[in-house]
Structure formats: C-alpha cells, structure tokens
Amino acid sequence: MSTKSQISIKSTLVTALNNKTITNHQHQVYLVLLSIPKGKVTTYKEIAHKINCNSAQAIGQALRRNPFAPEVPCHRVVRTDLTLGGFSGSTGNETVLRKMKLLQSEGVKFQDTKVEDEWSQAKVLEDCVWTF
C-alpha cells in the first residue's frame, strides 16, 4: 500500500472516529492493522498486547465490525496457535477458505496440512508472523 493510500485510510479512520461511527478501541485496532505488511500475519493476542487491551476477544469483535476491509486488513490476524480462526464474523469453512486464499495471494505460506474441508485448522508458517 502506498504512503498516499495509508494517509487517506488514516484520515478516513479519524473521520469515522469523530463521527462516532467507530469506537476509540476500534480506531486503535484498525491503526495497528495498517502496520502489518502483505505476506505477514499477526495474532489477536499480539494486537491486544500492542494496544494495552486485556482481551483478544475484544480485538476479534473489532475486526468483525471492520467497515474498511480489505484496505484495513483484518484478514491478516490469526489465532495464537497460528490457525486461521474466523473471517467476516464467521468460522464457517467457506468464509475461512476465502481468508486463506486472500492470505495466499499476498504471499502468506501455510503448513502442508491434510485437514480436508477444515480450513479454520490450516496453520500459517511461523516465518510469516509479524510482531510489533
């Protein structure tokens, strides 16, 4: 993402915060998401730690409500065990498969798993994990 695009998205986030269409918590989470590069993922717990939040679940709720996707890349967040978890507020296989394909298109690599139709159990390779 270009610097100009990042500035535009950050401006959009500030406007949304000022208009009270997102909460301060959501604003903090979405700003952190903008720092995760393509080809990398982070965890709900890592984001919680970054913004001094005690709840990885609260991070998940903010991501579930993300009105700025995919520009604010909530798809780049996975569980602590590096499995995909949910996507777009769902843990169903079809939506999680979309998350996996989106991450693969950005260069994220997965362990070779033999779990048929259980996309939420697919694991990201550790060298694709981004920490703050």
pTM of the model: 0.86
Q: Is 131 helix (H, G, I), strand (E, B) or coil?
A: coil
Q: Does 112 score more than 90 pLDDT?
A: no
The mean per-residue pLDDT over the stretch 109-128 comes to 77
Catalytic member of 33, 59, 62, 74: 74
74 a catalytic residue: yes
Residues 20-67 have pLDDT tens digits of 999 999 999 999 999 999 999 999 999 999 999 999 999 999 999 999
* 119 Cβ neighbours under 8 A, 6+ residues apart: 84, 93, 96, 97, 99, 100
Is residue 105 very low, low, confident or very high in pLDDT (cuts 50, 70, 90)?
very high
* Domain count along the chain: 1
Domain residues for the domain of 47 are 3-128
